[in-house]
Amino acid sequence: PLVSMTKMLQDANKDGYAVGQFNINNLEYIQAILQAAEAEKSPVILGVSEGAGKYMGGYGVVVAMVKAVMEAQGTTVPVAIHLDHGSSFEQCAKAIHAGFTSVMIDASHDPFDENIATTAKVVELAHLNGVSVEAELGTVGGQEDDVVGDIIYANPEECKEMVERTGIDTLAPALGSVHGPYKGEPNLGFKEMEEINTIAGVPLVLHGGTGIPTKDIQKAISFGTSKINVNTENQIQQTKKVREVLAANPDMIDPRKYLGPSRDAIKDTVIGKMREFGSSNKA
């Protein structure tokens, strides 16, 4: 069923695993990720960036596609459709009205009080509609679509205050993670993560999941990380497969013949992440 992230993340938090957010770009991503979730009996979050939403023809198209694929594939595991890095109240409202079950408001580039005010407004509308809300403090490094940032660590006291003043369901404290590949090993602020986990009182989110070593993933989960976002890794594996198939078959023109195998590459990648995050057999 389509659900918000609230119970999904609370269950994960209690039970010591993380639910993966996998970003979607088109029909094949939806099919592959939902196939993986069903095969693994894992809850799953489909992440939709504003850019990807636009690419697919708008939030309404996204919701219609996801619902149709769930029905066609006989999806039984819990699925959330989540706006990733929503840039404004208006974008979050559009996603909520289109039927998204979860939104992220990323006002992390604004001053703290503005971030709080925008986030609180989103929470009010979202909760009236049974939709969960994720907010961000500090900034994730690197670039995803139009979201560009330098690494800025979240302040633990502000995290506590944000949860109290806004009623968010989950918080993404940026602690050194990066969108896209890491230059060298990631340097995550586990000391701060532990502190935030103790005082904030909500499940935490880790952005920039691509390229984080398993030992760090496990450490993050042990410090209350209940949602891990992965985007780039699926793109890398999908595109690698397309190149491979086209290089081996220079005359190939039927898109199904290269998009089909690359869809399987996404599915296999997602299955690997679900096992790593411990969400398999938790649906």
Residue ranges for the known binding site are: 85, 106, 136, 179-180, 207-210, 229-232
**Distance of closest approach, residue 174 Cβ to ligand G3H, in angstroms:** 10
Residue 207 interacting with Zn ion (CB under 5 A): yes
The label of the residue with tokens 């009205």 reads: 97
| 147-206 positions binding ligand G3H, by CB under 6 A | 179-180
Q: Who's near 212: CB < 8 A, 6+ residues apart?
A: 177, 182, 186, 188, 206, 220
Which of 102/210 has CB closer to ligand G3H?
Answer: 210
**Cβ atoms 140, 179 nearer than 8 A:** yes
**Distance of closest approach, residue 254 Cβ to ligand G3H, in angstroms:** 29
Q: 145 catalytic, yes or no?
A: no
Residue 105 interacting with ligand G3H (CB under 6 A): no
**Distance of closest approach, residue 197 Cβ to ligand G3H, in angstroms:** 19
Structure-token pair, residue 263 = 């869809």
Which of 207/267 has CB closer to Zn ion?
Answer: 207
Q: Who's near 259: CB < 8 A, 6+ residues apart?
A: 28, 242
Which of 221/230 has CB closer to Zn ion?
Answer: 230
Which of 181/260 has CB closer to ligand G3H?
Answer: 181
| Alpha-carbon 199 to chain mean position | 23
Cβ burial of 115 (10 Å; 0-12, 13-18, 19+) is: buried
Residue 207 interacting with ligand G3H (CB under 6 A): yes
**Sheet with 141-144, edge to edge strand ranges:** 147-149, 141-144, 178-179
Helix (H) or strand (E) segment spanning residue 17: none
Torsion-angle region of residue 278: left (phi > 0), alpha (psi -120 to 50) or beta?
A: left
From 3-11, 127-135, 199-207, 238-246, span contacting Zn ion (CB under 5 A): 199-207
d(Cα 257, Cα 36) in Å, to the nearest integer?
A: 20
Of 11, 84, 150, 169, catalytic:
84
Site string for ligand G3H, 212-241 (x = CB under 6 A): -----------------xxxxx--------
Q: Which residues are catalytic?
A: 84
The residues that touch ligand G3H, with contacts defined as CB under 6 A, are 23, 47, 84-85, 144, 179-180, 207-210, 229-233
